[in-house]
Amino acid sequence: MEESKQIPEENSIESSSEIKKESNKEENVKAFTEFLEEASNQDIKEEKANSDLKEKKPEFKDNSLFKRILNDGFDGISSNPNYKMLALLIILLINLSLFFVIGNVGKAFLRNVGIM
Measured distance CA(83)–CA(95) in Å, rounded: 18
Whether the model pTM is above 0.85: no
Cβ contacts of 79 within 8 Å, gap of 6 or more: 71, 72, 73
Q: How many distinct structural domains can be found in the chain?
A: 2
Residue 67 domain-assigned (yes or no): no
Residue 101 shares a structural domain with residue 82: yes
Same domain, 2 and 49: yes
- Considering the domain architecture, whether residues 12 and 51 belong to the same structural domain is answered as yes
Query: What gap in Å lies between CA 113 and CA 116, rounded to an integer?
Result: 8
Residue 14 banded pLDDT, cuts 50, 70, 90: low
Tell me whether residue 41 is in a domain: yes
Q: What is the domain range of residue 2?
A: 1-61
- Decide if pLDDT at 10 tops 80: no
CA gap 72, 66 in Å, rounded: 10
Cα(102)–Cα(108) distance, rounded to whole angstroms? 10
